[in-house]
Structure 1
Amino acid sequence: MSDLARDPRRAPAVLMERYGPRVQVSESSGEVTADVQAADWIDLLGFARSTGYEFFDWLTAVDDPPDGFQVVAHVFDPVSRERLLLRTRVSRADPRLPSAVGVFRGADWHERETFEMFGVIFEGHPNLVPLLLPEGFEGHPLRKDFVLAARVAKAWPGAKEPGESEHGSPSRRKTLPPGVPADWGRDG
């Protein structure tokens, strides 16, 4: 039995012992989070699995402009019932990371979704093809710089001030919804 499985409260110390200054470990609400460089990503996942975190829960990305993306995986130890959050960063200019499918087969679907929604390329993935969006869809809709055309095509559903008509208040200038460029969707 591993050190982590015997005493999950030792997870920060065990991770620090293995990775030294290459890992940032934090705890919040009883959950341990480990941040590593992309070069240590697969090793960290394999180490977590070998120390009892055998259940792969989920993987996704977080758009963190202007630098790039955080790729986040959540694993679970069914014996100790402890959770571990694993994170790394990839650049916006070249969002590449080795695939985790060789460590956790369950990462397959999650990496495909993250590739499609954020544009993170998982090198070595056995079938990195679109999963959810219609064929021919262009762009990555969960990136913060992705303009949602529906925000311009349909009136923004925000609450109206008392006395405002359907056409807006004459004393206010019309504003576009958040994330829509100022010149987008305007005639003339």
Structure 2
Amino acid sequence: MTPEEVGQRLVALLAPVEATATVSGGQAHSRATVDVPPHAWRAALLAARDDADLACDYFDWLSAVDELSDGFDMVAHLWSTARRHGVLVRARVPRETPTVDSVVAVYPGAAWHERETYEMFGIDFAGHADLRPLLLPPEFEGHPLRKEFVLASRVAKPWPGAKEPGESEAGGGRRPIRPPGVPAPGEWGVVPTPAGAGGVGEGPRGGTPARPTRAARERPARPASDDGGTA
């Protein structure tokens, strides 16, 4: 079956549920992509597994995408070892109450993936009996793969992307660049960073850095030596 036929087949199986079939990019590696409402999440994966034409017997992976105010996109990739085709199933859940039904009973291999997605995005899987921490310590607060989560390690450690190849650690040349995942100074923390202290395009609320005064740019006077000689 072509990706178009796979998507259309799954949409037909889910009727009267409103589902939409498209095809992902990737040319020879493109996949049928079927968007379903959250309440049909489990039914979509079950239909893809049990239909003789689709026969998606292999669960590949499950994760989510943070779409900010639009919520989270749940994504699962299924594969048919007999038919040699795959399908991406997606469902968008609201940010306020991100939850879908667990599919562990459909694909037992989804248990690990649901635990990771719950931990990293804060998405609940109704019916999952063991949503305990998988990768982070129990005392960890927050969900690291949400876009509002500040990656503290990128604040504390220089970002390699701020340097050109061959540029020395002590060398100047370019002002530091704020790495991805780090808010502009003044956007987080209790003490806003003064203008210009954070690098290109920084300053309070991410404004343009202030230019240094002429006095600040002038070279300080060289101290005279005690014996009157030259240094």
The TM-score by the shorter chain falls in which range?
0.7 to 0.9
Query: For structure 1, which segment, 9-18 or 115-124, has the greater mean C-alpha deviation from structure 2 after superposition?
Result: 9-18
Q: For the structure 1 residues 20 and 14, does the alpha-carbon distance in structure 2 shift closer, same or farther, using more than 3 Å as the test?
A: farther
Determine the C-alpha separation between the residues in 1 that align with 2:8 and 2:166.
Answer: 58
Determine the C-alpha separation between the residues in 1 that align with 2:21 and 2:97.
Answer: 26
Determine the C-alpha separation between the residues in 2 that align with 1:159 and 1:76.
Answer: 42
The RMSD of aligned alpha carbons is 2.6
2:132 maps to amino acid: V
Structure 2: 5+ residue stretches without partners: 195-231
Alpha carbons 2:31, 2:88 under 8 Å: kept: yes
2:12 maps to amino acid: E
2:136 aligned with 1:139 = no
Report what 1:3 is aligned to. Answer: none
Report what 1:34 is aligned to. Answer: 34
- Which of these residues, 165, 170, 174, is aligned with residue 166 of structure 1? 170
**SS at structure 1 position matched to 2:133:** coil
Question: Deviation at 1:167?
Answer: 7.0
Determine the C-alpha separation between the residues in 2 that align with 1:64 and 1:129.
Answer: 25
Greater relative contact order (Cα 8 A, min sep 6): structure 1 or 2? Answer: 1
Determine the C-alpha separation between the residues in 2 that align with 1:17 and 1:153.
Answer: 52
- Which of these residues, 152, 157, 180, is aligned with residue 182 of structure 2? 180
Q: Percent identity over the alignment?
A: 44
* Higher percent of residues as strand: 1
Report what 1:22 is aligned to. Answer: 18
Q: For the structure 1 residues 152 and 37, does the alpha-carbon distance in structure 2 shift closer, same or farther, using more than 3 Å as the test?
A: same
**SS at structure 2 position matched to 1:22:** coil
1:52-131 pair list within 5 angstroms = 52-131=55-134
Structure 1: 5+ residue stretches without partners: 1-6
1:17 maps to amino acid: A
Determine the C-alpha separation between the residues in 2 that align with 1:163 and 1:56.
Answer: 46
1:7-50 CA-partner distances (Å, limit 9, x unpaired): 46632332232335711101233421111000111110110010
1:101-126 CA-partner distances (Å, limit 9, x unpaired): 11111110000000001110101101
Q: For the structure 1 residues 139 and 90, does the alpha-carbon distance in structure 2 shift closer, same or farther, using more than 3 Å as the test?
A: same
Alpha carbons 2:56, 2:80 under 8 Å: kept: yes
**SS at structure 1 position matched to 2:59:** strand
1:126-185 CA-partner distances (Å, limit 9, x unpaired): 10111011221111111111101111211222224998873745x95x553333231356
Determine the C-alpha separation between the residues in 2 that align with 1:143 and 1:123.
Answer: 20
1:23 maps to amino acid: A
**SS at structure 1 position matched to 2:96:** coil
1:47 maps to amino acid: A
Work out the number of aligned pairs and report it. Answer: 180
**SS at structure 2 position matched to 1:176:** coil
